[in-house]
Chain A
Amino acid sequence: MAKRNRLQLTQQLASIPIRNVRMREMPESDGSLVVEIDLAYKGLLRFISRPLKLRTTPRYRLEGLGLEVYRMVDGKKTFEVLIDEFAIRHKLTFFEGRAFLMQYLQMLMQKGLVAIGIPKKDA
């Protein structure tokens, strides 16, 4: 089995979350945000996605803390800066803020809304 590279804490904190630039945002009247993203299937799925009617433009509604985290991601702030801002706003400790943000960013990454830029180890 391939060994997964685990990020060092310093590397993790220096990483920069970036929004998917090909995503479309549609603000709703209730304050939430609907985002739409084009899915690109690879390999065989590319050919059978249409006959199988697989989703090609999934939509997600972001609200509450999920939306707050999404709005904080501006492509410039490092993960550490985001944690500090989030922790101060919600009176959390650094590690509480880190655990929360990791959870939310992981969710946003799985949906393809956010990607993480990781600096090289010696950077």
Chain B
Amino acid sequence: MSLTRTIAWHHIKCAVPADWEATSYSVEERQGRLEFSDRSGIRGLFSWESCKREPDTETTILSFLRSRETGVPDTRLADLKTHTVGEFRLGYAADSSPCQAICYRPDRQKLLRWIFPDARADRLASTYMPILQSCAPNAGSPREYLLFGIHATVPADYEIEQMNVFPANVRMLFESKSKRRLVIRRWGLPELILGGLSLAAFYERFLRSEGYIITKVQEGVEWHGMPAVQAQYQARGEHQMDRFMGRLWTNGAAMLWHDTTEKRIYTIEQIGPPDSVLLDPEKVVMAHG
């Protein structure tokens, strides 16, 4: 099975089969998980957690296999079959029982795990092992986030703060240490979203509904050959005295573009405290499904 869907999230970049979709996610960097499903059910689960020391791999896998949910509570250490695949140590007891792969990243003190629903030889060879092989760290600056069709590359001081995922409606909110905010959205079914309005009329209305004060809207622009709209806006400061005093941040920059081939609408909105330098959208967003 070819792995054509690329994923980039906290601590990992990897490739999974094209028909695997993320069906559950966590935003927290400290601890969380991503769940992948296809139409037959859950296919894989990736999780991360803080861990000060490297755990004993075999014992950790064994205790997972012995847990009630896996259905093999009597597994002994002698039954455990293990392989090293890429950075991961993969372990399982029987073909029909789940398998777990573990990797410890000492530099970030993180324990990464993959859990797959079975350990059938054909699936191990064609899918699970190639996924583990494809895993690479997602560290340093800039850092990539690629999930639900949004591909963002942001400096390391930007943290993902919020994510909203509805059918064909995804929103990622990043915030930097200096309180700059970056919002990336991706909508499907553009005819339904636009409701007969032009891109400019729709976007202006949308930004107003978000509570922004629009100062300029420029239509007829292009973004990589796609019809786009640019806007400037002001919004009430989000932090400390700015919020308390109701002081406006005036440097809001927004852009919407319509990828007619992909049938998606993307937007990127940025704002920050006075005199803050915003990111170049060209370097932040890569638009593809």
Task: Say yes or no: B40 contacts A92, CB within 8 Å.
Answer: no
Task: Say yes or no: B39 contacts A9, CB within 8 Å.
Answer: yes
Nearest Cβ on chain B to A1's Cβ, whole angstroms: 26
Nearest Cβ on chain A to B220's Cβ, whole angstroms: 25
**Which of B40, B167, B188, B192 makes the CB contact (< 8 A) with A64?**
B192
Q: By the criterion of a CB under 8 Å from any partner CB, how many residues of chain A are at the interface?
A: 16
Q: Is A60 an interface residue (CB 8 A)?
A: no
Task: Say yes or no: B39 contacts A94, CB within 8 Å.
Answer: yes
Task: Say yes or no: B188 contacts A13, CB within 8 Å.
Answer: no
**Which of A13, A90, A94 makes the CB contact (< 8 A) with B189?**
A90
Hey, which chain B residues are within 8 Å of A56, CB to CB? Answer: none
Categorize the interface residue count of chain B: 10 to 19
**Which of A10, A90, A94 makes the CB contact (< 8 A) with B188?**
A90
**A80/B39 contact (C-beta < 8 A), A96-B167, A100-B167 known:** yes
Cβ < 8 Å to A, chain B residues 153-184: 166-168
**A13/B167 contact (C-beta < 8 A), A64-B192, A94-B21 known:** no
Interface string of B264-289 (1 = CB under 8 A from A): 10000000000000000000000001
Task: Say yes or no: A103 contacts B189, CB within 8 Å.
Answer: no
Q: Is B84 an interface residue (CB 8 A)?
A: no
Nearest Cβ on chain A to B213's Cβ, whole angstroms: 32
User: Which B residue sits closest to A101, measured CB to CB?
Assistant: B167
**Which of B21, B41, B191, B192 makes the CB contact (< 8 A) with A93?**
B21
Task: Say yes or no: B189 contacts A65, CB within 8 Å.
Answer: yes
Once the chains are docked, how many angstroms separate the CA of A12 from the CA of B40?
Answer: 11
Q: Is A95 an interface residue (CB 8 A)?
A: yes
Interface string of B13-27 (1 = CB under 8 A from A): 000000101010000
**Which of B39, B41, B168, B191 makes the CB contact (< 8 A) with A92?**
B168
User: Which B residue sits closest to A9, measured CB to CB?
Assistant: B41
Nearest Cβ on chain B to A5's Cβ, whole angstroms: 18
Once the chains are docked, how many angstroms separate the CA of A90 from the CA of B263?
Answer: 7
Task: Say yes or no: B263 contacts A91, CB within 8 Å.
Answer: yes
Once the chains are docked, how many angstroms separate the CA of A100 from the CA of B264?
Answer: 15
Cβ < 8 Å to B, chain A residues 22-75: 64-65
User: Which A residue sits closest to B168, measured CB to CB?
Assistant: A96
Once the chains are docked, how many angstroms separate the CA of A92 from the CA of B189?
Answer: 8
Nearest Cβ on chain B to A31's Cβ, whole angstroms: 14
Q: Is A99 an interface residue (CB 8 A)?
A: yes
User: Which A residue sits closest to B190, measured CB to CB?
Assistant: A90
**A96/B39 contact (C-beta < 8 A), A90-B263, A91-B263 known:** no
Hey, which chain B residues are within 8 Å of A93, CB to CB? Answer: 21
Cβ < 8 Å to A, chain B residues 1-57: 19, 21, 23, 37-41
Task: Say yes or no: B167 contacts A99, CB within 8 Å.
Answer: yes
Once the chains are docked, how many angstroms separate the CA of A93 from the CA of B289?
Answer: 9
Hey, which chain B residues are within 8 Å of A10, CB to CB? Answer: 40-41
Once the chains are docked, how many angstroms separate the CA of A78 from the CA of B264?
Answer: 27
Which 7 pairs of residues, A with B, have the shortest CB-CB distance?
A99-B167, A91-B263, A96-B168, A95-B21, A96-B167, A100-B167, A92-B188
A to B CB contacts below 8 Å, 13 in the list = A9-B40, A13-B39, A64-B192, A65-B192, A90-B263, A91-B262, A92-B168, A92-B188, A93-B21, A95-B21, A95-B167, A96-B168, A100-B167
Taking Cβ atoms with an 8 Å cutoff, the residues of A that contact B are 9-10, 13, 64-65, 80, 90-96, 99-100, 103
